[in-house]
Structure 1
Amino acid sequence: MKITQAKVIVCSPGRNFVTLKVMTDQGVYGIGDATLNGREKSVVSYLEDYVIPALIGRDPQQIEDIWQYLYRGAYWRRGPIGMTAIAAVDMALWDIKGKIAGLPLYQVLGGRSRDKIMTYTHANGSDIAATLDEVGKAIDEGYQAVRVQSGIPGIASTYGVAKKGHNYEPADSDLPTETVWSTEKYLNFVPKLFQAVRDKYGDDIHLLHDVHHRLTPIEAARLGKSLEPFHLFWMEDAVPAENQESFRLIREHTTTPLAVGEVFNSIHDCRELIQKQYIDYIRATIVHAGGITQMRRIADFASLYNVRTGFHGATDLSPVCMGCALHFDYWVPNFGIQEHMPHSDEMESVFQFDYHFEKGFFTPGEAPGHGVDIDEKLAAQYPYKRASLPVNRLEDGTLWHW
């Protein structure tokens, strides 16, 4: 079997997606997600100009060799653009592998380790009262875990909080919007938010919170300590993770569980964090961390240190990545939780998928491969539209972490 053709499909059914389709001389094809939110066209160029020409004529069943060829052969290793392109190829090849075997991806990986996959959804509102209402809706829908974000008094807009009447989508304008941030207002407010949630809904629901990289280590330590009475499932992305040693200081001051990794691109971005047990959950994604092949290495390494998976699952990951993630979740022994932001009906009309969601839990489906495909004719009706992520400034104008 040989790869005869591969093409990139760019569409925007409500938001931009980049999809790679790899075809073979035996009529079997595979699909991969290559979406890099806010920088989509950069991955398109990398795939079309460099990766696809190097794939033609190769045996798609040699997944490991092709992964090593694309990773080692580039010389300029790692980074979000190159690793997202590799991930797209990797997903497509695992899809082909499953179709050849006539097995769903989780069976090819080694079979399932659980009956269903616990997910968490997002509850956000303009203030505490509105957020409490959204938490209640999530509980009524059957979720056992909810990520809680709220508007903060004195700050005009806050990460994770949707505009009234809209679903939250951060890539909201052609060029980056500029938002304003106050760490002190945030630190004073968040414990009150979680006190209100526990007072209303009790201790049984799992609660999560995303800091979105905005604190220094000692500030994150303060927040984690102040949230200990509310026993969060995790505190996510407490600080920028370029300096992995930052998490040591947080760990020394709080028992609130720590999660990080959605912006990671390789095992080297999280090696110290895992090995020194600075974190509890690794959130690196299949689409941005080199595909299924490398995520297996990361998960296996993490299992040695009691670190569990917690895949990013926002709407900037297409149903293709979600399908792969769910098969991975079904298999991986050290599974923690799966994020779930539902895609719109518009998005789901372009992608067909076999996975199933019911009352806070997913199952991945039994179709051969990862079970997700794309309607190319329908996708062509939704042309690419540039959309940028925001930037953040402190109240004095200093550029800060978004």
Structure 2
Amino acid sequence: MILPLVEKPAGDGLRVICEIETTDGHRGFGMSGRWMAHGVAAAIKNDLLPVIKDMDIRDIEAIHGRLWPEITPRGIRAGAGMTALSCLDMAIWDAVGRATGRTVAQMFGGARKKVPVYVTFGFGVYNEDQLVQLARELADQGFGCLKVLVGVAKGGVAEDARRVKIVRDAVGDRVSIALDANESLSFDQAVRLCKMLDDTDIAFFEDPVRGNDARELADLRRMGRIPVAIGQFDGYASRFREWIEAGAIDIVMANSMYNGGFTETRRVAALSQIYNLPLSDAGGGGLFSLHHVAGFRNGTMLEMHLGNARLERALFTNAPEPENGFLAVPDGPGIGLDLNRDLMRDSLIKEV
């Protein structure tokens, strides 16, 4: 990938890498998102690993049967515990893949070997000239969809709408444009923004309202006439069921870093297939989420967040690069990525 000329925000926040090793020498690793890293690391080390240390990594359901009571004895799914479960679960799937010689995408079903990428690039720190420059560069590199952040402009949704429209004018009809509010807008603000962009041909609106309230999302779908995409942080299967039953969702966006791991994403994928909904990715899952988008037959697009993509290039010695707007699943088994252990040693935080 040719890096854009405009300086991009770097991925920030601490990350937890959880690496496991079986008694017969198979290893696997998972990675957390960038919130509550110390709590996540402590939960994995002190609460989760001790209860499964004697188990066979292939017994995924039995493993989760032991882990769930440690995470959420009364059914509430949130916080560092869920992120810890996600990180550990991905490490287990990686180890199983490496032991069997199959990628996680193949274990999910192997629907395709490469997937189209949409790029999250429209950060609030960019002025309008920078947005235009970067949008054109990314379009020229073959990316078919660009995502602009909204709810970030000092001038409110009117300025958000103007920023989106200048991107549309810059790339014309050759590229799809999506929005992401990161749950920052009120329902009224989201409705106003949709009306302002009624003639702009928006591909989808991700996390448009605070708390992703199912009732408000359903109303927004009807009033705003823009497809709604949700699921970055609380995208576990029962939450998706609520959104689907409320008529609140068009695109299922799972993120294995937060929802309980690859195991939960498999459940989400089955649910999305039952309801004939497309399965995508959002929220910095990047090269991990590549596997469910490629693995399941209703997989669509993979997010490439420019800040997180920079982190992935530094952290993994063999991170794949997009070509003509597509990203291929790595050839190696499991997640297919190799850790840059020199970088890990240099950046290690010892307090856990």
TM-score (norm 1): 0.76
More helix by share: 2
* CA deviation map 1:51-109 (0-9, x unaligned): 11112111111112112321145415411312211112211111122122212222222
Q: Which is worse superposed, 243-252 or 291-300?
A: 243-252
Q: Check the 8 A contact 2:122/2:149 in 1, yes or no.
A: yes
Distance (Å, rounded) in 2 between the aligned partners of 1:240 and 1:81: 20
In the alignment, the residues of structure 1 paired with residue 204 and residue 131 of structure 2 have an alpha-carbon distance, to the nearest angstrom, of 18
Supply the distance in 1 between the matched residues of 2:68 and 2:249 (Cα, whole angstroms).
27
Structure 1 counterpart of 2:242: 272
Matches within 5 A, 1:321-336: 322-336=286-300
Q: Flag the 1:345–1:242 CA change in 2: closer, same or farther, 3 A.
A: closer
Whether the aligned pair in 1 keeps the contact of 2:117 and 2:304 (CA below 8 Å) is: no
The structure-2 alpha-carbon separation of the partners of 1:141 and 1:301, relative to structure 1 and needing over 3 Å to count, comes to: same
Rate the CA distance shift 1:277–1:114 in 2: closer, same or farther, 3 A.
Answer: farther
After superposition, the Cα gap between the structure-2 partners of 1:298 and 1:135, relative to the gap in structure 1 and judged at 3 Å, is same
In the alignment, is residue 337 of structure 1 matched against residue 301 of structure 2? Answer: yes
Is the Cα–Cα contact under 8 Å of residues 259 and 283 in structure 1 kept in the other structure? yes
Contact persistence 1:327–1:370 (CA under 8 A): yes
Matched residue, 1:40: 37
Q: CA deviation at 1:25?
A: 1.1
Kept after mapping to 2: 8 A contact 1:323/1:353:
no
Q: Which runs of 5+ in 1 are unaligned?
A: 1-11, 151-157, 160-180, 387-402
Q: Contact 1:103–1:366 (CA<8 Å) still a contact in 2? A: no
Residues 191 and 40 of structure 1: CA distance in aligned 2, closer, same or farther (over 3 Å):
same
Counterpart of 1:389 in structure 2 is: none
One of 52, 55, 58 as aligned partner of 1:58: 55
SS of alignment partner, residue 16 of structure 2: strand
Q: Tell me the distance in 1 between the aligned counterparts of 2:350 and 2:138.
A: 31
Q: Secondary structure at the match of 1:85?
A: helix
- The AA in structure 1 aligned to 2:30 is G
Measured at CA, do residues 243 and 345 of structure 1 come closer, stay the same or move farther in structure 2, by a change above 3 Å? closer
Q: 1:347 to 1:250 in 2, by over 3 A?
A: closer
Counterpart of 1:19, as a letter, is I
Cα distance per residue 1:270-304 (max 9 Å; x no partner): 32212333111222310100111111111221233
Q: Superposed, which structure 2 residues align to 1:213-228 within 5 Å?
A: 213-228=183-198
- 1:114 deviates by 6.1
Cα RMSD between the aligned structures? 2.7
More deviation in 53-62 or 122-131?
122-131
Q: Which shifted more, 221-230 or 141-150? A: 141-150
Provide the residue aligned with 2:324 in structure 1. 359
Q: Is the 8 A contact 1:13 1:379 kept in 2?
A: no
| 1:104 equivalent in structure 2 | 103
Aligned to 1:23: 21
- Give the match for residue 163 of structure 1: none
Cα separation, 2, equivalents of 1:121 and 1:287: 18
Length-normalised TM-score, structure 2: 0.86
Contact 1:274 1:307 in 2 (8 A): no
Distance 1:44 1:138, change over 3 A: same
Describe the shift of the 1:203–1:243 C-alpha distance in structure 2 as closer, same or farther (beyond 3 A). same
Which residue of structure 2 aligns with residue 207 of structure 1? 177
The answer to whether the 8 A contact 2:44-2:88 is kept is no
Report the CA distance shift for 1:212/1:69 in structure 2 as closer, same or farther (over 3 A): same
